[in-house]
Amino acid sequence: MSRAADAVAVAAAAHPGFLSPSGVEIAFLLVGLATFGAAVITVTTRQLVHAALWLIVALGGLAVEYLLLTAEFIAWVQVLIYVGSVVVLLLFGLMLTKAPIGRSPDADSENRWVALTVAVAAVASLVWVVVDAFRTTWINLHGPVQGSTKVSGETLFRNWVLPFEALSVLLLAALVGAIVLSRKNSAAENSAAENSATGKSATRTSATKTSATEKSREQR
């Protein structure tokens, strides 16, 4: 046994069960903290546009986490679908509905504590499910790399075709709903503008008639 192996054995005996974190693990932890902070700011800020922008940071951080876990396919799906489609759809919805740029009093909901309780319960449930799954699931290290493009694509289009198509229909429904809402708002604004213009023209006509009547009376 070489001296390096002896040193490793002595270090392992001195610190049983301890493994020094690698650079990838440290980066994973730092990106996770940044993603968590962006998610917290997303749900606590009172500015809707800032919330959408912080959501981009949170979803992008999640994609980086997937990359660090060598799940490249899931990472690019995260970027293309969520960052590139869903968030852009949210921004278009904010612009079409003319959401306020500054602080919005409507964003300060009184149900914040209820939402916090539901979020904590959901996180606890997910943590329990993940821990239980890793406790009872074994990964074959000699098989295909889990999370690779080939394995993820085969699993997605063989076992999860129906949820994948349902998700595409859901995104299409959200897009159609945003278009319908924007058209209703524009139609209401046009009708209000027409009514305002009609009222102004009627007021001007009545004022003109009144002034003409007064002038005719003065001439008499």
Quick check: is 27 in a domain?
Answer: yes
Q: Are residues 90 and 166 in the same domain?
A: no
CATH number, position 53? 1.20.120.1200
Same domain (yes/no): 96, 154? no
What range defines the domain where residue 215 resides? 150-220
Residues 82 and 157 reside in one and the same domain: no
* Token code pair at residue 175: 């897009």
Choose the final residue of a domain: 75, 107, 139. 107
The predicted structure's pLDDT at residue 11: 54
pTM over 0.85: no
Q: Tell me, yes or no, whether 84 and 32 share the same domain.
A: yes
Indicate whether 2 belongs to any domain. no
- Indicate the residue among 107, 128, 160 that finishes a domain: 107
Residue 1 predicted with pLDDT over 50: no
10 falls within a domain: no
- Specify if 121 maps to a domain: no
For 108-118, write each residue's pLDDT tens digit: 666 778 878 88
Q: What is the pLDDT of residues 28-77, one digit of tens each?
A: 999 999 999 999 898 888 787 888 889 999 999 999 999 998 888 888 88
Is residue 99 located within the same domain as residue 159? no
Q: Is residue 194 part of a domain?
A: yes
pLDDT value at 119 more than 50: yes
Tell me if 15 is assigned to some domain.
Answer: no
User: 140 lies in a domain?
Assistant: no
Q: Which of 87, 107, 127 represents a domain boundary (last residue)? A: 107
**Tally of domains within the chain:** 2
Residue 79 counted as domain residue = yes
Does one domain contain both 99 and 158? no
